[in-house]
Homo-oligomer: A and B are copies of this chain.
Amino acid sequence: MLDAAAEVFAARGIASSSVSDIAHAAGLTKGAVYSNFDSKDDLVLALMEEHVLQRLHNALVAFDAADDVNDAVHDLGASLVDAIHADLGWQHLLFEYCGLARRDPTLQAALADRRRAGRAAVARAIERIAEARGVELPMSAADLAVAMLAISNGLALETGMDPDGVPDDLFPRLIGLIVDRRVP
């Protein structure tokens, strides 16, 4: 059900997907949706919650699983780039959700909380890498986490506007320039 919702939302956007559409995509009807969720908003909330948790979990597991730290860095970069391209639909869902939250203080607060948690997780990962590698960071890990998320989202946005204008390797190159302070 949530899977079907994710697909439909990604394809048509949250606002212009009807509850019936989602239900039929799952092979069911509206009644089924309303017997599982209080409202459309509730469905959207549940979906975002699930997807965000899943994503964070995947990223952190993949990160911890890598034996070598350089591998971890490489994998992290690669997985982010993959995410930008493969999961562009989801990324745009997040953008729309962000727009919705702007007009709803409750959503806004909830989103801010989750975002802070996500950023903190990324920041910890960065700190771990830096420590293991003995790299001196050019700014606080927290700010660097914000920067990395902002850059990946910003590139996804640019890719959405003009898919051919954004080179695949721009993200890792930028990260390299920011983090690696040696003169080229």
Residues in chain A within 8 A of chain B (CB atoms): 12-13, 15-16, 92, 95-96, 98-103, 111-112, 115-116, 119, 138-139, 143, 146-147, 149-155, 157-158, 160-167, 170, 173-174, 177-178, 181-184
Contacts and interface: CB of A to CB of B under 8 A. Distances in A.
Given A103-B13, A115-B161, A138-B184, A149 B143 contact: no
Given A146-B165, A177-B177, A98 B157 contact: yes
A120 B153 CA distance: 21
A57 to B, nearest CB: 19
A184 B150 CA distance: 24
A172 to B, nearest CB: 12
